[in-house]
Structure 1
Amino acid sequence: MTDLSRHTPVSGAAQRPAHSPTTAWGLTGLLVVLYTINYGDKVVLGIVARPLQEELGFSASQIGLAGSAFFLAMAIGGFLAGTINRFASLRWALAGLAIAWGLCMLPIVVWAAFTVLIVSRFLLGLFEGPSSALIHTATYSWHPAEKRSLPGAFITSAAAISKIVLAPALGYVVVTYGWRWAFIVLAGASVIWLGLWLAFWRPGPYGDEATNGGNTKPTSLVHWKELMRTPTFLGGMVAVFSFYTLTSVVLTWLPTYFELVLGYSRIQANSLFGVPSIVAMIALFTVSFLADRLMSRGVRARVFRAIVPGAALLICAASMIAAPLIPTPALVVVTVSIGYGLGTIVYPLLNAAISEICPRDRLAGTLGFFLAVMTCGGLIGPFLSGVIVDHAATPAEGYSTVFQLLGLLTAIGGLSALLFVHPARDAARINAIQNSRGADASTGV
């Protein structure tokens, strides 16, 4: 097992500090709430897509372009996570981002126009971009390296919670009060969370802020490029990119697909939007619990950091390719749900793999780059899907093509994880580089 503390010259006591599990999991829960709001900001576009088309005359390509604008900005913002973490504490970095999210929800409420939608979604993506790496960094600061799969699963489950709880609730709000109120509700949620965050957050014992006394200046002797050239980083990046492309399409188009192609009502479609997420939560918590339990007992990291996520992506790929060939709507929902649900385990497992090869003071920046490249899948997914659907003879034909292309891409991601991800091997290489340079520095070489 590779402990992140090996990369940082800390005392033995600091490697396994005493802390309250109640506090650790309570603050992890608070971060899950923030990430749920984050995903609510994403899924709201899919919830209001049909009302926007009906009231404002937007085309599928325009809705898709708004989705891609969000993910473009989110990718750009992701690259800034390391810089933000260097100059601001986690408390104030995440507080500032939450305020910005709430503000970005409001322009479309006041000025309902396509340009406003594009600009507001772009700004929202820019401010949400750094959040994933910072949220994971904050979470990992309260959990040791070999026990990060389960807390990572809780963070990832925010996507499922947003679709199981928020999507039907927002769908009800849209049907009952109009689409504008969906954005108002999300803005209010950011404000409420901000108050709780400022009241309760403090740095965890396994994070860089605690071990360096709040100093955010990097002390590692390992360069960014050396971390990003490891097979674990590159193989994991291809894997999460492939599945995030699929995720972005699901967030933007799945309710519309259920309504237009499978024939469900709007309320039914928004409710069924949560079914894949129920499967995802079962898979996330089952696999992550087993990963932490078995890795703590000596099972090789590669089993749960490469083999399991790689196999899950291959199953997901098969389900996406098969879904358009199934004639029964209910069976299509089941097939898509199983494939998508199993695929989501790649997020906590591969994020944990990256945390295992990184020095503590490089974690936020490395994760930021990793997740920013992952988010680039959202640049092409929603817009390309909208274009394919617009130019297909029928919506069913268009979505069939989209699903099968996503299946092929996800298969490539699964093979990449199986072949290249090996955190123990790459962490040993990074440790060797760190130790070599430390020895050279001590002898004046």
Structure 2
Amino acid sequence: MSRQRPSKYAWVIVLLLFLFMLINFADKAVIGLAAEPIMKELELTPSQFGLVGSSFFFLYAVSGVITGFVVNRIQTRWALLAMGLIWALTQFPMVGSVGFTTLIACRVLLGAGEGPAYPVALHSAYKWFPNELRTLPTAMVSQGASIGVVLALPALNYLIVRYSWHWAFAALGLTGLVWALAWLALGREGTLNETPTPTEGRSFGRIPYRRLLLNPTVFAACASGFGAYWGLSLMIAWLPHYLIRGLGYTQQQTGWLSTLPWVCNVFIVIGAGWLSQNLLARNYSSLVARSLIGGGAVALGGIALIAMPHVEAPMLNLALLVFGISVPSVIYVLSPAIVSEFTPVSQRGAMLTIITAVSTSAGLLAPYVMGRIIENGATASEGFHRGFLICGFVSLIGGLIGMAFLRPEAEAARFAAADAAAAATRNRLINAELAL
């Protein structure tokens, strides 16, 4: 275990990154909240709006991977500042009259700016916290998303109902600019664990990306993340519309009801983060404290979503939907910590963005697939239920893969052994040359 401890300023950074993720997910969620008025104003079909939801992820993964390699070479504080500015500026074209093409273009650019957000924010936070103390700050940063949406959705919905959906986008643009100024003034770069140490179970040197990527643990992290993100992307794009068209609520009621999954996320994810860190402190293996909890949460959410379409009571239907989408979010906290256990710090930014890119690629498919299913269903409610059933199976499969193959300690030991063997070979060659 590392003997390093975070400084007090580390929690200032965590707070700023918490706000960063708050704005990030408010930007994502506003499109679903405004779905009904946007579809009416622009006369969009469900499949067209599904395309709008999916377009956000068109450059999301590509941008995430590219930025991941960039932040291996530059300070994360400047990357985060650039992202914050991009988010703000892409909201302002939505203030005026827009068409279908402009709407898609703005969402594509916003997705490109937001793709690297979470892994880069974690990479920034991890420079302030040693391995055994990362789970709680990770949970806090990630819950900027849930708490942000809980706070933002009612306020944004008020603007939509009282004025128009254009005002909601304007408010987000201004909020993004305020955060960018705060980060410019207060953001700092941490230096903790800049050099990998054997106490963290990592190799002394760089590991070829081929070896890092082509191992069962990284594959399982991507699979479980993909399963969780299928549901998350549906929640972002379609949940408010489902509440209106599927369950019969009004736009005003939807503003509050849409916060339910995010409220649950706050308690579930922070609670799981606390449990995981507590188990690690009590010397439980990472397999138990991180892998089984993370993969199990995704699988459990999938089971709830599979059951949901077969329940007729509206309140129980909504409860299963909220549970099925919320619980898998635990994996967003635990899988980055798992991958970081065996990834050298100099390569961590790239690895976190790569697994995030693969996981979030579910967003390219899920909203559009749901739109097509709704359009072809006998009723909107029937289409939604079929779409959520598919989501349940995707989550269940991803969670089971995570439970079976997330093995960070085994990967760390394997890489450390390979590094030691390579070092021993080099020493023998050097000694042989000296003997000659």
Rounded to whole Å, the distance in 2 between the matches of 1:228 and 1:412 is 20
Q: CA deviation at 1:162?
A: 2.8
Rounded to whole Å, the distance in 2 between the matches of 1:220 and 1:49 is 49
For the pair 1:245 / 2:245, whether they are aligned, the reply is no
Q: Which residue of 2 aligns with 1:178?
A: 164
Q: Pick one of 241, 246, 263 that aligns with 1:278.
A: 263
CA deviations 1:368-420 (Å, max 9, x no partner) are 11000011000000011011101111001101100110111111011101110
Q: Pick one of 192, 195, 198 that aligns with 1:206.
A: 192
User: What amino acid sits opposite 1:156 in the alignment?
Assistant: S
Q: Which residue of 1 aligns with 2:3?
A: 16
What 5-or-longer segments of structure 1 have no aligned partner? 4-14, 212-218
Rounded to whole Å, the distance in 2 between the matches of 1:50 and 1:116 is 18
For the pair 1:332 / 2:298, whether they are aligned, the reply is no
User: What amino acid sits opposite 2:9 in the alignment?
Assistant: T
Q: CA deviation at 1:432?
A: 2.3
Q: Pick one of 3, 16, 21 that aligns with 1:35.
A: 21
Q: Which residue of 2 aligns with 1:160?
A: 146
Q: CA deviation at 1:87?
A: 3.9
SS of match in other structure, 2:190: coil
Q: CA deviation at 1:242?
A: 1.0
Q: Which residue of 2 aligns with 1:357?
A: 342
Contact persistence 1:43–1:163 (CA under 8 A): yes
TM (norm. structure 2) is: 0.93
Q: Which residue of 2 aligns with 1:101?
A: 87
Task: Judge which range, 375-384 or 105-114, deviates more.
Answer: 105-114
Q: CA deviation at 1:280?
A: 1.5
For 1:183-332, what aligned pairs fall within 5 Å after superposition? 183-208=169-194, 220-332=205-317
Aligned residues: 424
Task: Judge which range, 353-362 or 78-87, deviates more.
Answer: 78-87
Rounded to whole Å, the distance in 2 between the matches of 1:305 and 1:390 is 40
Q: Which residue of 2 aligns with 1:345?
A: 330
Q: CA deviation at 1:80?
A: 0.9
Contact persistence 2:6–2:130 (CA under 8 A): no
Contact persistence 2:29–2:236 (CA under 8 A): yes
Q: Which residue of 1 aligns with 2:367?
A: 382
Rounded to whole Å, the distance in 2 between the matches of 1:96 and 1:30 is 15
TM (norm. structure 1) is: 0.91
Contact persistence 1:304–1:349 (CA under 8 A): no
Contact persistence 2:308–2:317 (CA under 8 A): yes
SS of match in other structure, 2:170: helix
SS of match in other structure, 1:86: coil
SS of match in other structure, 1:344: helix
User: What amino acid sits opposite 1:134 in the alignment?
Assistant: V
SS of match in other structure, 2:59: helix
Q: Which residue of 1 aligns with 2:199?
A: none
Q: CA deviation at 1:353?
A: 0.4
Contact persistence 1:221–1:437 (CA under 8 A): no
Task: Judge which range, 435-444 or 255-264, deviates more.
Answer: 435-444
For 1:48-67, what aligned pairs fall within 5 Å after superposition? 48-67=34-53
Q: Relative to structure 1, is the Cα distance of residues 154 and 73 closer, same or farther in structure 2, using a 3 angstrom cutoff?
A: same
User: What amino acid sits opposite 1:65 in the alignment?
Assistant: L
For 1:56-135, what aligned pairs fall within 5 Å after superposition? 56-135=42-121
Contact persistence 2:140–2:270 (CA under 8 A): yes
Rounded to whole Å, the distance in 2 between the matches of 1:78 and 1:297 is 35
Q: CA deviation at 1:81?
A: 2.4
Q: Relative to structure 1, is the Cα distance of residues 443 and 190 closer, same or farther in structure 2, using a 3 angstrom cutoff?
A: farther
User: What amino acid sits opposite 1:324 in the alignment?
Assistant: P
User: What amino acid sits opposite 2:254 in the alignment?
Assistant: A
Rounded to whole Å, the distance in 1 between the matches of 2:426 and 2:37 is 63
Contact persistence 2:5–2:130 (CA under 8 A): no
Contact persistence 1:19–1:205 (CA under 8 A): no
Rounded to whole Å, the distance in 2 between the matches of 1:136 and 1:257 is 32
Q: CA deviation at 1:221?
A: 2.7
User: What amino acid sits opposite 2:173 in the alignment?
Assistant: A
SS of match in other structure, 1:299: coil
Across the aligned residues of Structure 1 and Structure 2, the Cα RMSD in angstroms comes to 1.9
SS of match in other structure, 2:57: helix
SS of match in other structure, 2:378: coil
Contact persistence 1:102–1:187 (CA under 8 A): yes
Contact persistence 1:355–1:363 (CA under 8 A): yes
